[in-house]
Amino acid sequence: MAGTKSRRRGEQLEHAILDAAWEELREVGYARLTVEAVAARAGTSKPVIYRRWAGRAELVIAAWQHRAPTEHRTPDTGALRSDLLVLFTTIARRADAMMNEVVAGVMSEAFRHPEVAALLRERLVADSPLAGTVRRIVDRAVERGELLPVRLPSRVTRLPLDLIRNENVMCGTPPDDDVLASMVDDVYLPLLRGLAAP
């Protein structure tokens, strides 16, 4: 720290910057994140950042990609309702308020620089492993006889994430357990049953 003048390069430096950006996001959020602060935190300077990313939005998306995992472990509790509750809870924990502030902020930037919009959408749709997870949960419920066999349109497999993101965005806080339960009991379970009926 004091005397370490070793100059980082390449990947090592890049990771340091992305980590710094992530920390900065967590502490002050997207709206207040400045490139200078990220540079300072990473112990480097603005030009180094601008040589790698075209702007603030790109940097933030990269940091996000660098940090946020996209895998789900498929819950297996032995019952459809509790599987869904675990799934919704997992998504909600990960898609916390900060992430939604990032989405909102990047989104508003996306209109100024259309190429950012593509990046963002790509990142958001990248969560499509969700579809497989939902299908596995439903398949097991069908095997147990909890549900009639059912075809799942992609709009339905995407719905958990859409509901949670929407709630996050509108309330500014991650949905609590009651809200998650209402998503499952008022919307998702009835929907699955309705899809199963002719």
Residues that bind DNA (CB under 7 A): 5-10, 13, 32-36, 43-48, 50-51, 55-56
| Largest CA-CA distance found in the chain, in angstroms, rounded | 73
What is the CA angle 13-66-11, rounded to 5?
A: 25
Q: Which is nearer to DNA, 5 or 151 (CB)?
A: 5
Which of 112, 126, 129, 149 binds a second copy (CB under 8 A)? It is 112
Residue 104 sits in the site that holds a second copy (CB under 8 A): yes
CA dihedral 49, 108, 99, 91 (to 10 degrees): -130
Which of 108, 132, 144, 176 binds a second copy (CB under 8 A)? It is 108
In eight-state DSSP terms, residue 30 is T
Residue 105 sits in the site that holds a second copy (CB under 8 A): yes
How far from the centroid of its chain's Cα atoms is residue 44's Cα? 28
C-alpha to C-alpha distance for 43 and 115, rounded to whole angstroms: 29
Q: Using CB under 8 A, count the residues that bind a second copy.
A: 41
Which among a second copy, DNA, none contacts residue 110 (Cβ within 5 to 8 A by kind)? a second copy
- Residue pair 161/92 in contact (Cβ under 8 Å)? The answer is no
What is the CA angle 6-50-119, rounded to 5?
A: 120
How far from the centroid of its chain's Cα atoms is residue 1's Cα? 34
Which of 110, 134, 137, 141 binds a second copy (CB under 8 A)? It is 110
Q: How far is the CB of 20 from DNA (least distance, A)?
A: 11
Residue 190 sits in the site that holds a second copy (CB under 8 A): yes
Residue 192 sits in the site that holds a second copy (CB under 8 A): yes
- Residue pair 158/166 in contact (Cβ under 8 Å)? The answer is no
Report residue 127: phi and psi, to 5°. -80, 15
Q: Which is nearer to DNA, 25 or 33 (CB)?
A: 33
Which residues sit at the interface with a second copy, rule CB under 8 A? Answer: 29-32, 101, 104-105, 107-112, 117, 121, 124-125, 153, 155-156, 159, 162-163, 165-166, 169-172, 182-183, 186-187, 189-195, 197
